[in-house]
Structure 1
């Protein structure tokens, strides 16, 4: 920012131009969010106070945030929080940034529950590799009588998930366990969900800097073919689920058929599996139902 006094509107336009010139995907949104953080104003405040001049301290805070974004740090990391399913989630270095595509897991799981007429039943849900707790807590927010357990090998991630559960008023209906996927759980469960690591290890270096430099590597790396996590968790899920229960997992582009095959190998018959696409039309979730008795 220059030494000449500028107002909020001028600063926001200048920051948007700066971000656009740097090739950022959403320069206007990024500028608005970082302006709000620097000035502690929501969108309404930014609009109504648009003519207010920035102080030197305001400009310094804004420039510091802008430099972090221009260096490739995602806005959610800078702010330490991200919205998912209309809920606010705190982040940490041990958690992925929840992405809109992952809401497809929540949608598929809820459609299964609605199809069984059990929305108001006391369901047991397991979220394997819960990270920030986003999938589990989104489901609990929609299923008022249900209880969920989130697992993760990262104790730091579990602390973040627990904090999010408490902040969202769901702390009494969620528990968190340190283990690899479902290795420390015993059933039965009605629903198992997961967004496991699925990026082939050799592809990680080619990911966008926002991902490869800021998301935890072990939450990305799915092994040589990206399927290691599914080979571990799908048989575990099959053993945990009660008859008629379901497992829903997020998958990477081109992986749906392979994951469906792993479900078949674990005992989910072909007519009880389903593939759901995200908003871009990419197959994003594979859901398998355990055969009823």
Structure 2
């Protein structure tokens, strides 16, 4: 029972009984974390016995998972854009669908480069630094700035940059554009801001039950922060620069309306990997 194979079978069955959507994967990730070994180790040495301390730690993590606590918070890490990022309960857990925002931003940077336009990138509400660090890893010649209201998030993102040795990313603490100088200019502004309505029943389900409400919920049916970002981005975008924002799967039409009303051009909404509306973007063409 105390072998790797036995512990995995026990934990997987417990997670099945507990209603986990990925019981085998959950058990494997937790045991790899406890043993500090890759998955291949579990497959190669199924008969190896856990120490009493390892068994106790594994049981404690399993119990927390059965209570619904996200795997990423339990192991302290989540991969995003193939980058291992430290996470904590003070920030959102990076999600695969947000990688679509990275792809679109890279496309726009490449387009601007063809037009002879080069400029730095801004990530608002950076959290773990996932967006900023993904872009910094792909664009080493550009500087990427991430901003977050929470000091803990700014510190976590900074540690992630140091861990990944991405020296072209910096992180500031403050409310949206507040930490920037008046003359700051960017070719692209990206954001995955709070966009959930505080009455949304999904807040009582899954991982979001454990994530900080300040990173999830916005006023005006989830649109307040999206509107604020779009309004003030016009002051900080270079001519022909792009604003790209993630939002809820039912908010595409409303966010397109917001960008159009503020004077953005080429406004469109792009879908995520699940074929849901996820990112709305627009080009700021006015000359300041």
Matched, 1:282 2:276: yes
The residue number in structure 1 matching 2:238 is 242
2:195 aligns to what? 198
2:69 equivalent in structure 1? 73
SS of the residue aligned with 2:177? coil
1:250-276: CA deviation from partner (whole Å, max 9, x where unpaired) = 01021011111111111102xx12211
CA contact (8 A) 2:243 2:283 kept: yes
Deviation at 1:206, TM superposition (A): 4.2
Write out aligned runs for 1:186-265 (5 A).
186=182, 187-203=184-200, 206-212=203-209, 214-265=210-261
State the Cα distance separating 1:117 from its structure 2 match: 3.5
Q: Deviations over 1:161-192 (max 9, x none)?
A: 1001111111x312222221113324311010
Residues 238 and 267 of structure 1 are in contact (CA less than 8 Å); yes or no, is this contact kept in structure 2? no
How far does residue 122 in structure 1 lie from its aligned partner after superposition?
5.6
Rounded to whole Å, the distance in 2 between the matches of 1:216 and 1:229 is 16
Residue 36 of structure 2, aligned match among 35, 40, 62? 40
- Structure 1 residue 93 displacement after superposition: 2.5
Distance of aligned partners of 1:206 and 1:89 in 2 relative to their CA distance in 1, 3 Å threshold: closer
Aligned to 1:110: 106
After superposition, the Cα gap between the structure-2 partners of 1:146 and 1:119, relative to the gap in structure 1 and judged at 3 Å, is farther
The counterpart of 1:147, out of the listed 132, 143, 149, is 143
Deviation sequence 1:34-70 (CA, Å, 0-9, x none):
0111222111111111111233322211111100100
Deviations 1:189-231 (CA, angstroms, capped at 9, x unpaired): 101000000010111674314212x211100111141001012
Selected match of 2:173 from 168, 172, 178: 178
2:130 matched residue in structure 1: 134
1:254–1:130 CA distance, 2 compared to 1 (3 A):
same
Distance 1:27 1:126, change over 3 A: same
Is the 1:121–1:145 contact (alpha carbons within 8 Å) kept by the matching residues of 2? no
Give how far 1:160 is off. Answer: 0.3
TM-score w.r.t. the length of structure 1 is 0.92
Partner Cα distance (1:190, 1:75) in 2: 36
Deviates more, 1:150-159 or 1:111-120: 111-120
Cα distance, 1:118 vs structure 2: 5.7
**Distance in 2, Cα, partners of 1:292 & 1:146:** 23
1:291 equivalent in structure 2: 285
Partners of 1:15 and 1:119 in 2: CA distance? 55
Counterparts of 1:129 and 1:118 in 2: how far apart (Å)?
29
Over 3 Å counting, the alpha-carbon distance change for 1:111 and 1:292 in structure 2 is farther
1:143-162 Cα distance to aligned partner (Å, 9 max, x none):
11010111111111100010
CA distance in 1, matches of 2:274, 2:202: 24
Q: Which residue of 1 aligns with 2:120?
A: 124
User: Can you give the 5+ residue segments of structure 1 that lack an aligned partner in the other structure?
Assistant: none
